[in-house]
Amino acid sequence: MLVAGLLQRSGVEVALLERRPALSPGSRAIGIHAPALAALEPSGITDELLAHALRVSRGEARSEGRLLGTVRFDRLSVRFPFVATLPQSVTERVLAGSAPPIRRAAEVTAVRPEGRRMRVWIKGGDQLVARVVLVAAGVSARRLVYRRIRVREYPDRYLMADLPAPGGPVAVVNLDRVGVLESFPLPDGFRRFVAWDDAAGDAAPEARANRMRDALERRGQHDAAGSLISASAFRVRRAVAPALVHGALVALGDTAHEVSPIGGQGMNLGLLDAATLAPLVADWVHTGVRPDAELRRWERDRLASARTAALLASLNTGLGRPLGPAGDAARRALLRVGLGTPAEAVFARAYAMGFDRDA
């Protein structure tokens, strides 16, 4: 939606195809970081997102209720020194507001070059011809672009729920012996809770809800535990494609790279892919000449940023695993030292995507 909207603003005719018949009510991505907010500012989208968002100024690492250290986003020297949180459905609504009309229930089944154009096949038999095709269609659409990408499956499983809970605009990461419980503030008095879950646990919805309730009660989140009805489950994977540009076919977002959501950078990577690609594609369409050097630079920077995000997400995922007494003591010592010294600023920068090439 973002890249389609930016292209349309630049006078490019765009067809935006979406497999789903309607906006999905479910929520995955909630955190938007400083580089994405800065990249969307010229289009006015940042102001609209911020009108609905909560500004998270700091994060705390805790263990068994005790504070290990604090990460200060409000001390970063960036234009937006906070993490903006809002439900994914609201982000999608804002992006849809500046995108061309979405042609829904239009599942692309194949994209092939045909002379100097690309032909796009849509389920049901319809076809389109375009000069450039951008595939920003998540993991399941990878087959439209790539024969095969190496995907690493993590052993970890998580439970997730958005619940009413007190706590103010501070993110809390509880790193206990039983594994991580993350608690991120959302607008309107809600918080997003994500708990490490035992892969061998019963997958029945009620059993999952009970385990989530236990994880919340253990950290003193009694209100949230009391209001919990169900918890969704997710697993995590890591994949970074070797290339993004294939002639007139370009992949971006999760189609090209998938990082563990522990750390919350996947959507931000996609937004930055889109914001930085749009001017190059507009130039390409207007002049009829593919800006090869700029596209190569774009591809190199976006892949490097995805690899950095994937590495950080991997470290976060590892840090949140259950540990025995010795490992847990070492983790606490590491975090106390890391967050109590000038290295804290590096943590804050890493969490806020300050190492992205387009930050």
Ligand X SMILES: Cc1cc2nc3c(=O)[nH]c(=O)nc-3n(C[C@H](O)[C@H](O)[C@H](O)COP(=O)(O)OP(=O)(O)OC[C@H]3O[C@@H](n4cnc5c(N)ncnc54)[C@H](O)[C@@H]3O)c2cc1C
Does 182 sit near ligand X (CB under 6 A)? no
CA 253 – CA 262 distance, rounded (Å): 17
Residue closer to ligand X (CB basis): 90 or 137: 137
Binding string to ligand X for residues 149 to 168, with x set by CB under 6 A, is what?
Answer: -----------x--------
CA 52 – CA 312 distance, rounded (Å): 28
Classify residue 240 by burial, with Cβ atoms within 10 Å: 0-12, 13-18, 19+: buried
**Binder among 41, 107, 294, 344 for ligand X (CB under 6 A):** 107
Does 185 sit near ligand X (CB under 6 A)? no
**Cβ contact 265:353 at 8 Å:** yes
- Six-digit token string for 168: 């103010």
- The least distance separating ligand X from the CB of residue 304, rounded to whole angstroms, comes to 17
Q: For the residues of 326-350, what is the DSSP string, one character each? A: HHHHHHHHHHHHHHTSTTHHHHHHH
**Binder among 28, 131, 177, 336 for ligand X (CB under 6 A):** 28
Give residue for tokens 């994977």.
Answer: 237
Binding string to ligand X for residues 278 to 317, with x set by CB under 6 A, is what?
Answer: ----------------------------------------
* C-alpha of 228 from chain center: 24
Binding string to ligand X for residues 227 to 256, with x set by CB under 6 A, is what?
Answer: -------x------------------xx--
Pairing mode, strands 127-130 and 66-72:
unpaired
- Six-digit token string for 346: 């590096």
Does 141 sit near ligand X (CB under 6 A)? yes
CA 218 – CA 236 distance, rounded (Å): 24
- Please report, as residue ranges, which positions from 252 to 281 form the binding site for ligand X (by CB under 6 A): 253-254, 261, 264-268, 270
Phi and psi angles of residue 123, each rounded to the nearest 5 degrees, phi first? -55, 135
* C-alpha of 86 from chain center: 12
Residue closer to ligand X (CB basis): 160 or 172: 160
Binding string to ligand X for residues 30 to 69, with x set by CB under 6 A, is what?
Answer: xx--------------------------------------
- The least distance separating ligand X from the CB of residue 251, rounded to whole angstroms, comes to 9
Q: Which residues bind ligand X (CB under 6 A)?
A: 17-20, 28-31, 107-108, 136-138, 140-141, 160, 234, 253-254, 261, 264-268, 270
